[in-house]
Structure 1
């Protein structure tokens, strides 16, 4: 067995064909846990193209000794390797049984460019897992063998190996198979392990449901408390705002009343002062009348000042106390 990243140089010209007959396999391990595996063979010349694979029928319950005897012919355009895989047919993801890469140049070196070979195959981890019997034949464009000698029917020990790219692909398939099996085990509740495990799974599922319900109730309670706390905070803020507004309105009303009281007090004081002035000057004091009669000695108010009539007269709008000095005298 050998590992390589480099493809071997092809010795066949382009435009040829490769005929592959998958006869049988002798495998060391069975990948099935229960029952026998159902193997099929598949191959490709281009490992980078998953759609290029062709496969045989599935040999049901063949276990470690599947037989196919199925033939394929594919174009050969200088590809150096034939990549082969033996798979176990599964309901979910098919399982890898064995794989290998077969250098094609060894076929063209045989008489008639035909090789009935037995090739070692390997597990995904790179360990031997038995062998497979293939007949490989390379023909040119005219359908003639490259070697004119008659092919031998004797089985030869062929060369096979593992390439890094091929093993990487196989491990990827193995990982997907593991994940799929785990998923089926969870989904199916490990039915193969019996009713006891199913009962335990049911109990565990119910317990998880109950825990999930309790957690949902707890979350709901927490959310309700958070909502009530937020509502209380908003109500307190609104109440504080309303108190501030009320206090501001009461303060404004108190200030208005105080101004009103001060204004009334000032008016009352002015009225008392005016009455005092009236009494101090003796007699009734009235506002100067521009068209009325004024008696000598009479008193009038004009522009906030007291005047005494010097001689009786009938007033004229132009004889104001400030202009008619012969008629009025300021007191």
Structure 2
């Protein structure tokens, strides 16, 4: 990150990580604490390796890095938040329409596994379908590769979209507290379309969540719909690609408890939004580079076993299909 951005970040976290000097020794400075934490996140190096570069003991590093991640989450909490009004949702939808030619889209949803070592006495609780141990990062991303919702820590054994069902977002959605705008007509289209989140086969389809048609026996119109849906949905895949390219701890097996690993993953997501909004040259270059392609960086969650969709959900998908093959064609 640029020196000015690092200085701003340091000023934000200093009150939460600064320690007092004692008669026995001087405290490790906030600058050292933040820099070694960022290096750990960026490289995925072990504490044992970092101690030779930072001259900080392994025991101290284990405390410093988690404390600093907690501080980052606290001071950057405003950089990830769900829209609080219909107008804020419509702003996200207009960006999806302008950048990805997808009308009435409120965000792209996906989840990824982050590998961890098996927690003691946990049995198969964190054992996933790829036969590794993991926690799940669930996220919703806007059209600019920025997170608007993240939750981390669900056990890797939980497959499919059931992970989403245990999030605060899902609770707000089920209680009608998200303030999703009412359906509107896209330009030139005679039918009203609801505002939706785009997802893949790992999630159940309903009135506000749409996913692709099954790959078997697709018509040409359905193929066009699947392409357009994939084009809008890849922003979440690219967001995961960006954070795993910049914060390579995500590509390793994190040798910490699920609780501590969750704090590291969340701190990374908040840092991603902070850096992307600060328009730092190197970070924006990475966003542009990865934005040109879709590459799986983290392990995908397992597809849902539930293939049933309501009649209304299927009709909504068909209406979007009609739009993409009519006035909304490219």
Q: TM-score, normalised by structure 2?
A: 0.23
Query: Which of 1 and 2 has greater Rg?
Result: 1
TM-score computed with the length of structure 1 as normaliser:
0.23
Name the structure with the higher strand share: 1
- Between the two structures, name the one with larger relative contact order (CA 8 Å, sep ≥ 6): 2
